[in-house]
Amino acid sequence: MFSLVRKSFDMSEERPSGLSATPASGAANDGRTPSRAKIGLALGSGAARGWAHIGVLRELADHGIFPDVIAGTSIGAVVGGCYAAGKLDQIEAFARSLTKRRVFALMDLSFSGMSLISGERLKTALEQEVKGLQIEDLPIPFAAVATEVGTGHEIWLQRGALDLAIRASYALPGIFEPVRVGDRYLFDGALVNPVPVTVCRALGADYVIGINMAADMMYRSKVVPDQAASAGTSAGVRPFASRLGSALENGLLPRYFERSVGGAPNVATAMVDAFNIVQDRILRSRLAGDPPDAIVNTRGNDIGMFDFHRADEAIAMGRDAAKRALPTIFAHIPVAAASG
């Protein structure tokens, strides 16, 4: 059982250097009345499907709904952090520019023994947009959710380097290397708070809109059978060494993210599926215990966990989901609060 200790108000001696979890002092008004009810957006985890957050944010803005505080977990921290920094256009352009080959090129193999992917290339790509930005200086209060390795503590990152907080929030265990912050190692916040409604409330939100990428599926990597490569093997599974060697030779992501022809899981898919089963159970529990005032549920279970090159589809999916949720949103959030 995970220990869900929220380090948000009293970090004392356990506070990591460079990042902290002190609640933000207030929301940016962006020219809107500061005394009106505050809206919080809780952007959930979801890997490649998380590009749908961009579409949701665009659709909400088209209807006069602008957040005063934002909390994000995993891919939700990526999009939410960029939005809070005024970089939504840039992250959308980056997402739409991705091809399958470029995604593979960003997934550099790790030889540290801590993960399959080192994340250095993704780090470089992220730093191009948000390097040097401090969370406490963002125009909209923001927090990224991460999990402390070893203790399972839920960590709310609200001060310090934005890029470091985002990387810690999306560091999927076993896939990406955990991120060291002070004397702690942190990884994906989806293990403790997949849709961080509670964080938005702690930041002062009066009304919280949750954006849930896991409404209709548990994520798993796409199945792309390689019939030619599997020929000559009794079970239709390519040996790991052969797959790894081929990947290194071609500069592509190893095929250990794909299931075998017969559907049997390999090490990576079994690990990811186990993670998603845990995340699904935690998500159900957290939303039942502290439901948002309104929720946006996406539908698009054909977008796989690593299909980051399908941003156009995911963003459109997000817009559609937001449109479906608008009646519920306006039923629970006063129009005056939404329009400012």
Close Cβ partners of 312 (under 8 Å, ≥ 6 residues apart): 96
Could you give the CA distance from residue 197 to residue 41 in angstroms, rounded to a whole number?
A: 8
Q: List Cβ neighbours of 199 (8 Å cut-off, separation of 6 or more).
A: 8, 42, 71, 143, 145, 156, 193
Contact call for residues 153 and 197 (beta carbons, < 8 A): no
Catalytically active residues, by annotation: 74, 188
Q: Please name the residue that has the structure tokens 């977990």.
A: 73
- What is d(CA 72, CA 198) in angstroms, rounded to the nearest whole number? 11
End-to-end CA distance of the chain: 42
Tokens standing for residue 60: 């909400």
| 8 A C-beta contact, residue 112 and residue 120 | no
Task: Tell me the three state secondary structure of residue 285.
Answer: helix
Q: Where are the alpha helices (DSSP H) in 133-263?
A: 162-170, 197-202, 227-230, 240-250
Looking at residue 122, its amino acid is L
Q: Where are the alpha helices (DSSP H) in the chain?
A: 52-62, 75-84, 88-97, 100-106, 120-130, 162-170, 197-202, 227-230, 240-250, 267-289, 311-332, 335-339
- The SS3 of residue 146 is strand
Identify the residue whose tokens are 């954006």.
211
Beta bridge partners, 209, equal 41, 294
Q: Is 180 exposed, middle or buried (0-12, 13-18, 19+ CB in 10 A)?
A: middle
